[in-house]
């Protein structure tokens, strides 16, 4: 099930990259996507899972000839799930004009820190786990998620899980 989610996740971000103009920033023959996650520190095990899932799908896509003949390449960014580091990663990704989209960040606080940078740079961003409902407002059409927001989860739990 976890691998299936990883495949769906990378597939979604690749679709977003295609919609927002893969050829505008990518070097000839290569689509570059930034992936931000905690690869070191206390939450590195989550980053390890992200890396494993992305690499699995990346191999599948590239072995099949890439997307429209272009290979996909990942640029990794270690954000430690911390706002300061996320801002640094966001600035690095935004400065690299060959990066066409971002997968991440995993923690809402990190996503909130990096999102204004991505909006200014016009980088579509997909987070699998950032649940803070305000991120969508900050993302202004550049932020996508494939998880429920905290407010939805709270209402659902209150209505369906808590005994009445």
Round the CA-based radius of gyration of the chain to a whole number and report it. Answer: 16
> What pLDDT, on the 0 to 100 scale, is given for residue 68?
93
The whole-angstrom separation of Cα 104 and Cα 77 is: 9
Does the pLDDT value for residue 19 go beyond 60?
no
pTM over 0.85: no
50 vs 144 pLDDT, higher one: 50
* Residue of 3 and 76 predicted with greater confidence: 76
Q: What integer is the mean pLDDT of 38-57?
A: 96
Q: For 55-111, give the DSSP string.
A: HHHHHHHHHTT-BTTBEEEEEEEE-TT-HHHHHHHHHHHHH-TTEEEEE--SSHHHH
Q: Using alpha carbons only, give the angle 83, 142, 96 rounded to the nearest 5 degrees.
A: 65
CATH of the domain at 12: 3.40.50.2300
Domain count across the chain: 1
Who has greater pLDDT, 115 or 54?
54
Q: Is the pLDDT score of 65 beyond 50?
A: yes
Question: What is the mean predicted confidence (pLDDT) over 112-133?
Answer: 84
Task: Find the domain containing 58 and state its range.
Answer: 2-128+136-160
């Amino acid at each position: 099930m976890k691998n299936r989610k990883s495949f769906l996740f990378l597939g979604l971000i690749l679709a977003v990259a295609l919609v927002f103009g893969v050829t505008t920033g990518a070097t000839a023959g290569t689509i570059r996507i930034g992936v931000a996650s905690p690869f070191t520190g206390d939450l590195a095990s989550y980053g390890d899972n992200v890396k494993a899932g992305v690499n699995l799908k990346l191999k599948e896509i590239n072995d099949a000839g890439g997307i429209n003949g272009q290979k996909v390449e990942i640029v990794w960014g270690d954000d430690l799930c911390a706002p300061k580091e996320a801002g640094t990663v966001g600035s690095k990704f935004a400065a690299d004009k060959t990066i066409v989209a971002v997968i991440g960040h995993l923690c809402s606080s990190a996503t909130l820190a990096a999102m204004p940078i991505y909006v200014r740079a016009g980088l579509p961003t997909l987070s699998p786990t950032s649940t803070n409902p305000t991120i969508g407002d900050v993302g202004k059409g550049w932020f996508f998620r494939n998880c429920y927001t905290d407010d939805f989860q709270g209402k659902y739990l209150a209505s369906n899980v808590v005994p009445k």
